[in-house]
Amino acid sequence: MSTEPTPPAGQPPDIKPDNYYQNAREEVLAFLPPHPATVLDVGCGQGQFGANVRQRLGSAVWGIELEADAAKVADGRLDHVLCGDVAALIDELPAGLFDVVVFNDVLEHLVDPYDVLARIRSRMAPDGVVVSSIPNIRFWPVLYALLAHKSWEYEASGILDRTHLRFFTETSIRAMYERLGYEVLRQEGINPAPRLPMRFRIANALLRGRLEDTRFTQFVTVARPRR
């Protein structure tokens, strides 16, 4: 659950691309605090991201992964891996242990991400933070396809991944954390569209920058339980 790649052209829409569980998510590493002692990577896939955290930050890394085959690979790379649904496994995690809990494009797949974020707090260290990457449903290509072509087509992966159960915007992500008693410390768009058409630039100028958030594929949020 830790990656949102684009499937190769011609690939059947219900088949995940080969690299679906292999993304290292380099762009998210910069949002972690320096040298956290213990990190929990929820939806760790095959463990590439967690392995990078171990190597670069010197952290002990736990993982949770729903897919059994991916979890087996991750188990050889991380310190401890649990296989299953995070909602069912929270109570098996040590209380007060994790300095960072990471959700790399995972919360949108959960039946109740709000409950998971509320309950995971008891497993965090006193100064612990949550770092989440969440797809932006207001991404310009998705928005334009809907408004100009009345198109809303689910795909094997990406923003309109057919396994997504929830959809978020920059504003709704922040509101979710604040309603759950978190303080948002940082929130930034990542993976911007490489090129935006002139019609976007004109529309954004006419709307005084109100479309700026639609440039980004995802938003990364760093939040801590409000003190």
CATH of residue 129: 3.40.50.150
The pLDDT, as a whole number, for residue 21 is: 72
Query: What confidence tens digit (pLDDT) does each residue in 87-106 have?
Result: 999 999 999 999 999 999 99
The pLDDT, as a whole number, for residue 23 is: 81
The pLDDT, as a whole number, for residue 204 is: 81
Q: Which domain holds residue 93?
A: 26-139+156-194+215-225
Q: Decide if 16 is inside a domain.
A: no
Q: Decide if 149 is inside a domain.
A: no
120/45 Cα distance (integer angstroms) = 19
Confidence of residue 75 (pLDDT cuts 50, 70, 90): very high
CB 186 within 8 A of CB 126: no
Q: Decide if 185 is inside a domain.
A: yes
Tokens encoding 61:
């890394």
The pLDDT, as a whole number, for residue 118 is: 98
Q: Give me the chain's average pLDDT, please.
A: 91
Question: Considering its fold, how many domains does the chain have in total?
Answer: 1
The pLDDT, as a whole number, for residue 7 is: 41
Q: Decide if 129 is inside a domain.
A: yes
Confidence of residue 2 (pLDDT cuts 50, 70, 90): very low
Q: Decide if 146 is inside a domain.
A: no
The pLDDT, as a whole number, for residue 195 is: 82
Burial class for 35, CB neighbours closer than 10 Å (0-12, 13-18, 19+): exposed
Edge-to-edge strand order for the sheet containing 124-135?
80-83, 60-65, 38-42, 98-104, 124-135, 216-225, 182-192
Q: Decide if 46 is inside a domain.
A: yes
Q: Decide if 147 is inside a domain.
A: no
Query: What confidence tens digit (pLDDT) does each residue in 114-162 have?
Result: 999 999 999 999 999 999 999 999 999 999 899 989 999 999 999 999 9
106/49 Cα distance (integer angstroms) = 14
207 or 167, greater pLDDT: 167
CB 71 within 8 A of CB 47: no
47/31 Cα distance (integer angstroms) = 18
- pLDDT higher than threshold 60 for residue 197: yes
DSSP assignment of 131-175, as one string? EEEEEBTT-HHHHHHHHHH-----BSSSTTBTT----B-HHHHHH
The pLDDT, as a whole number, for residue 10 is: 47
19/210 Cα distance (integer angstroms) = 34
The pTM score is 0.89
Q: Decide if 150 is inside a domain.
A: no
Helix residue ranges, H only, the chain: 26-29, 48-57, 68-75, 86-89, 113-120, 140-149, 170-179, 198-206
